[in-house]
Amino acid sequence: MAWLKTLADTYDIYSDLAGVDKNGQAVLLPISHSTFNAQIEVTIDKDGNFVDAQKLEKGIDVVTVIPVTEDSAARSSGIAPHPLCDKLCYIAGDYTDYTGDDKIKYYDAYMKQLQNWAESDFTHPMVQAVYRYLVKGSLICDLTAKKALLLDDNGKLTDDIKIHGQGQTGANVRFRVFGVGKPQEIWKSQEVYKKYSAYYQQKSGEKKLCYITGKMESCSDKHPSKIRNSADKAKLISGNDESGFTYRGRFTAKEQAVSVGYDASQKAHNVLRWLIQKQGYTRDESAIVCWLVNREMPIPDMMKDSINAYRDVDDFDFDFDDIGIDDAAADNKHDTGKYIAEQFNNAVNGYAGKIKQDDKIAIIALDAATTGRLSVVYYDEMGGKQYIDAILSWQQHCKWRRTIKIEKSETANRKITCECTPAPRDMVLAAFGTQRDKWLEAEGKLIRTTIKRLLPCITGKRAEIPYDIIRAAVRRASMPQTMSDYIWYNDTLCVACAMIRFNYEKGDRTMDNFLNDNINDRNVLFGRLLAVYDYMEQRAMFEYDENGKVKERRTTNAKRYWNAYSSRPAKTFKTIRQNLIAYEKRLNDFELSKFEEWTGEIMAYLSEKGFDNTALSEMYLPGYYQQMEYMKKAFQKKEQ
């Protein structure tokens, strides 16, 4: 129950934001409230007279905050009306007349519930106006008159006409009331929120022990859904399978397994929903969110690459809009990555200094166990300093030079090339992805499961990235012909090297001098040898235009035989070397001498360290990459 208590405590910290709409951001729901997507908006005056109605455009301000009861928030069947805004079958007195479907019991239950609120001490003029209008029983008649609903040739409401993809008879309706002040939208009124919360809480039932607060409170056995989004039906707490095996043989009643107070449940679920909408990662049917529990302060997003992780941190002193362009302050305009890294590291260090010693961070990951059930697959709490240190360590040691897209930039396709930590999802796709069109894809369940395994590595709870994930990424990187050059190099090779680096850098060991430090490692030496032959063929084979760009790029022998080389390096080396003899004639004297020099140096070490067909370990990949970069810089220096 620790995660529920932490969420309830978080709600108390942010309680002043409940129901407040700030610049179109997600709204923290008040207690006893939920949301639905409205399809129709009805306008009435303060006396309950119909004024206007309209169909709402899909996706434009359709998410509506509504009061709910325990039964209506959890309803899937039966009669359980919402107290104010609801479906046509509940609020339209003439529903049966226009559909032929007898729903009078639904309407009667709704009107009785609304009447009790409208006549209570917690009423509001808007609520009274809605009651006065709906008691007339003419809603569908008024809606058809304004063409908000359409009838068929028999004068009946037809579901052949869709609103937001569903039939007209299932439309959700919300209200706007003129003449009672601002706001006119009843779903945005803070006064209505407070009135209903107070009204519903004074109707509390039997008090029991709440497992979250440890106090005797009014408890609930029906808990909210819509955790990940407004259409989500999965629940975190549920025990309605009394005829199955949920608690048979262990308990005689579900209350014996868990008892949660209504207020605590509402707070925990509402703030979790709000945090996910505001700053959570929601992809592949999973939801992951990390937040500062004790005060309001944005924290870096652990689910993004190290550059974009700070994109939504308001007080982060770094101008994202300027990166990706040549900067006059950079020492070398041909490589602004170094300048960007320096400025970014300064901003990161400045942000880290704002974290207080007593700050508390919580991380929760949710996964869909079944269609109607959510499970907590990962939960952790730690001090703010501990979390920031873990994030900085992750970003410092699990990085590699690659091209990334800057999110939310003025230029949609703005990209930069710099050293950065890949996002966890990028790592999963590098290991298990298959190229579809211009990107990598993988099965959703596999992505969720693997990301869950990476979370402890990010938070510092695990020393290394699981070796099977790295080996899978290495296997994918060893098959360059199955992907485009860009996807293979940027999204597979570089990401695999970043993961290898994270496990490699321990203590004082770094990759700053990787080639010299591993001069006796046959895996690294074979990787370097592959790079030499790959680049030799590129220099001999590729033709360049006047701007220095490759006119025609063909697959080199090194890439054609790459997979075989990683499994049987000595044997495949001879095949690649034989195929390159014809290309050597196209190299100039300087190029040929340099390639011979590098080959001779590597072979001298390799002949003593195991020139055989033993399969290569993952270390050959960074050996390939760094040798390639070293050679490119050598030729660039000569050409300059």
> Which pLDDT belongs to residue 330?
40
Q: What tokens were used for 392?
A: 């900085």
> Which pLDDT belongs to residue 84?
95
- pLDDT confidence of 407, banded at 50, 70, 90? confident
> Which pLDDT belongs to residue 329?
39
Token pair 């706007």 in the structure block, residue: 176
Whether 25 is covered by a domain: the verdict is no
Lowest model confidence (mean pLDDT) among 194-208, 456-470, 543-557: 543-557
305 shares a domain with 265:
no
CB 89 within 8 A of CB 97: no
Whether 354 is covered by a domain: the verdict is yes
427 shares a domain with 540:
no
In the three-class reduction of DSSP (H, G, I as helix; E, B as strand; rest coil), residue 420 is classed as strand
What is the rounded distance in angstroms from the CA atom of residue 119 to the CA atom of residue 97? 29
What is the rounded distance in angstroms from the CA atom of residue 143 to the CA atom of residue 158? 14
> Which pLDDT belongs to residue 619?
96
Of 187, 202, 217, at which residue does a domain stop? 202
Arithmetic mean of pLDDT, 316-331: 60
377 shares a domain with 462:
yes
> Which pLDDT belongs to residue 175?
96
* Mean pLDDT comparison of 416-420, 525-529, 608-612, highest-scoring range: 525-529
Q: How many domains does the chain have?
A: 4
- Residue range 546-599, pLDDT digits in tens: 665 655 667 899 999 999 999 999 999 999 999 998 888 888 899 899 999 999
Token pair 């395994």 in the structure block, residue: 453
Arithmetic mean of pLDDT, 170-181: 91
595 shares a domain with 548:
yes
Give one word for 507, left, alpha or beta, with left for phi > 0 and alpha for psi -120 to 50. Answer: left
Please say if the pLDDT value at position 535 is more than 60.
Answer: yes
The percent of the chain in helix, strand and coil, each rounded to the nearest 5, is 45, 15, 40
> In the chain, what is the straight-line distance between the N-terminal and C-terminal CA atoms, in Å?
65
> Which pLDDT belongs to residue 413?
67
- Residue range 94-130, pLDDT digits in tens: 999 999 889 999 999 999 999 999 999 999 999 999 9
- Percent of all residues in the chain with a pLDDT value above 70, rounded to a whole number: 92
CB 418 within 8 A of CB 307: yes
Token pair 């070397």 in the structure block, residue: 577
328 shares a domain with 196:
no
493 shares a domain with 370:
yes
Bridge-partner residues for 305, per DSSP?
Answer: none
Q: Please enumerate in sequence order all residues whose Cβ is within 8 A of that of 186, keeping only pairs 6 or more positions apart, or say none.
A: 84, 85, 126, 127, 130, 174, 175, 176, 177, 192
> Which pLDDT belongs to residue 234?
85
320 shares a domain with 270:
no
Of 202, 219, 250, at which residue does a domain stop? 202
Please say if the pLDDT value at position 249 is more than 90.
Answer: no
Whether 241 is covered by a domain: the verdict is yes
Burial class (CB in 10 A: 0-12, 13-18, 19+), 170: middle
Asked whether the CA dihedral 540, 542, 544, 548 is positive or negative, the reply is negative
CB 9 within 8 A of CB 293: yes
- Residue range 67-101, pLDDT digits in tens: 999 889 888 778 999 999 999 999 999 999 999 88
> Which pLDDT belongs to residue 411?
61
Q: What tokens were used for 593?
A: 């001498």
Measured in residues, the chain has a length of: 640
Main-chain dihedrals φ then ψ at residue 374, nearest 5 degrees: -110, 150
Please say if the pLDDT value at position 218 is more than 60.
Answer: yes
Amino acid making up residue 110: Y
311 shares a domain with 242:
no
292 shares a domain with 257:
no
366 shares a domain with 275:
no
Asked whether the CA dihedral 606, 610, 612, 613 is positive or negative, the reply is negative
Lowest model confidence (mean pLDDT) among 28-37, 81-90, 237-246, 580-589: 237-246
134 shares a domain with 262:
no
> Which pLDDT belongs to residue 507?
85
The model carries a pTM of: 0.85
Whether 364 is covered by a domain: the verdict is yes
Of 202, 236, 269, at which residue does a domain stop? 202
Q: What tokens were used for 184?
A: 């006119």
Residue scoring higher pLDDT (451 or 313): 451
525 shares a domain with 461:
no
Residue scoring higher pLDDT (475 or 310): 475
Whether 511 is covered by a domain: the verdict is no
Please say if the pLDDT value at position 334 is more than 50.
Answer: no
- Residue range 176-200, pLDDT digits in tens: 999 887 888 999 999 999 999 999 9
Whether 510 is covered by a domain: the verdict is no
Whether 538 is covered by a domain: the verdict is yes
CB 27 within 8 A of CB 19: yes
- The residue range of the domain holding 478 is 286-504
